[in-house]
Chain A
Amino acid sequence: MDTDQFIKTLAADAGQHERPAGQALAASLLVALPVSAAMLLSTIGLRPDIRTAMHNPFFDLKFVVTLALALSAITVALHLSRPEATARGWRLLLLAPLAILGLAIGGEAMQPQRTSMLTRLLGHNSMLCLTAIPVLSLPLLIAALIGLRRGAPSNPTLAGALAGMIAAGLAATLYAAHCVDDSPLFVATWYTLATAIVAAIGALLGRRLLRY
């Protein structure tokens, strides 16, 4: 086909505008969140002592960390959904949840503890954490990938990994309400590992799905 003809065709379609990636991402995540929440509530549920736990700052801190992960991943993913964007500088944002965790580990270490560091790190149920977060992530990962498909990332593998981090951050926020391990050492080990698993799945999917 002649390029002039092709341009005329594109111009005929000029009235159709896609929604920006940010709006599409917000919409699809809002659909997936209740699904993941229902998955949690209908299976393992909330921890029985959640009311008392809420007075423990280390319990509350888990939500700060996981939400910081989700929000920083959303911000970086949306930035990188523009074709000319580079990751330089923005990557540092992803260190925010790790920085909070680092401070929390320091804070915990300064307090007298009844259990050893290793006991707190291993926690009660690390295997459940490693399974539940990736499983709860699945609807959110699909949603994040659908939302980010509106973008035009120059590195679809990286964009997919970020979709995985968004999903893992939100799934971990839900799972934290079930998890009885509140030590930042536990969170830094197992939540991080679970996030890495989901990010790897996201990277593999993004590589194919987020090309434009």
Chain B
Amino acid sequence: MRGRDEEWTDLMRSANAGDSVAYQRLLKAVTPVLRAGARRGLARAGQPIDQSEDIVQDILLAVHLKRHTWDPAAPFAPWLFAIARNKLIDTLRRRGRRVFVNIDDFAETIPSEAAPETLPAGEVTRHLEALPQRQREVLQSIAVDSASIKDTAQKLSMSEGAVRVALHRGLAALAAKMRSV
């Protein structure tokens, strides 16, 4: 696991230095590990494991919005797994389960691809509907229609700066909505 952890730490350092390709690679690399941990946690709590994708996205969003709390001098994996555990516990509690997530649910799993029986994640899409109009339009354009920031700005006749701001605020608002469920 040593090699993997070091790779993640390097990618996150590059991401912090402004390399968004490294950032995307990092998020892609951690996703199968988060998915496996989420499935394991759900199974332990006696919950259907096909809902893991919502938890994975919840964790990714928290990682994104809280990445400034990672200490670049420290390894990335313990920070990531702390956030993942927190989010998993949160989800299970919201469903009225009192559960203790095993420390190693995330750290000691074999990465798992989205299994065919996994339900598509619906939480993000559902909360998207409730965002203020501008934020919703920007997020839909970038997330659903895969448009770039530049194209989105043109399509909505906004400046690129305004699109960036709306995107960031929209993601923060999304996180707030997911917390309050």
User: Shortest CB–CB separation between residue B65 and chain A, in angstroms?
Assistant: 7
User: Shortest CB–CB separation between residue B50 and chain A, in angstroms?
Assistant: 14
**B68 in the interface (beta carbon within 8 A):** yes
Q: Please tell me if the beta carbons of B69 and A13 are within 8 angstroms of each other in the complex.
A: no
* Chain A hits for B125, CB < 8 A: 1
Q: Please tell me if the beta carbons of A6 and B78 are within 8 angstroms of each other in the complex.
A: no
**B142 CB contact (under 8 Å) in A9, A14, A150, A152:** A9
**B92 in the interface (beta carbon within 8 A):** no
User: Shortest CB–CB separation between residue B159 and chain A, in angstroms?
Assistant: 15
Identify which of residues 21-45 in chain B touch chain A, using a CB-to-CB cut-off of 8 Å: 23-24, 27-28, 31
Known: A82-B79, A154-B82. A5 touches B68 (CB 8 A): no
**Inter-chain contact total with CB atoms closer than 8 Å:** 115
Q: How many residues from A make CB contacts under 8 Å with B?
A: 31
* Chain A hits for B24, CB < 8 A: 7-8, 11, 14
* Chain B hits for A18, CB < 8 A: 65-66, 68
- Secondary structure call for the A interface: loop
Identify which of residues 1-53 in chain A touch chain B, using a CB-to-CB cut-off of 8 Å: 1-21
**B61 CB contact (under 8 Å) in A2, A10, A154:** A10
**B144 in the interface (beta carbon within 8 A):** yes
**A151 in the interface (beta carbon within 8 A):** yes
A20 to B15, alpha carbons, bound, how many Å? 16
Q: Please tell me if the beta carbons of A83 and B64 are within 8 angstroms of each other in the complex.
A: no
**A157 in the interface (beta carbon within 8 A):** no
**B23 CB contact (under 8 Å) in A2, A6, A11, A83:** A11
* Chain B hits for A207, CB < 8 A: none
A149 to B53, alpha carbons, bound, how many Å? 26
User: Shortest CB–CB separation between residue A26 and chain B, in angstroms?
Assistant: 15
Known: A3-B31, A11-B24, A15-B20. A84 touches B68 (CB 8 A): no
Q: Which residue of B lies closest to A86 (CB)?
A: B82
Which interface residue of B31, B53, B68, B74 has the most chain A CB atoms within 10 A? B68
Q: Please tell me if the beta carbons of B62 and A19 are within 8 angstroms of each other in the complex.
A: no
**A72 in the interface (beta carbon within 8 A):** no
Contact with A along B1-25 (1 / 0, CB 8 A): 0000000000000010010100110
**B149 CB contact (under 8 Å) in A1, A12, A211:** A12
Q: Please tell me if the beta carbons of B27 and A11 are within 8 angstroms of each other in the complex.
A: yes
**B48 in the interface (beta carbon within 8 A):** no
What are the 6 tightest A-B residue pairs by CB atom distance, in nearest-first order? Answer: A84-B82, A11-B24, A83-B82, A9-B143, A14-B20, A152-B66
**A-B residue pairs in contact (CB < 8 Å), sample of 30:** A1-B143, A1-B144, A2-B121, A3-B56, A3-B57, A6-B61, A7-B27, A7-B31, A8-B143, A8-B146, A9-B139, A9-B142, A9-B143, A10-B23, A12-B20, A13-B164, A13-B171, A14-B15, A14-B18, A15-B18, A15-B20, A16-B167, A18-B65, A83-B83, A84-B74, A84-B82, A151-B69, A212-B62, A212-B66, A212-B179
Given contacts A14-B20, A18-B68, 17 further A-B contacts (CB under 8 A): A2-B121, A3-B114, A4-B28, A6-B57, A8-B143, A9-B139, A9-B142, A14-B24, A18-B65, A18-B66, A20-B68, A21-B69, A83-B83, A150-B68, A152-B62, A154-B82, A212-B175
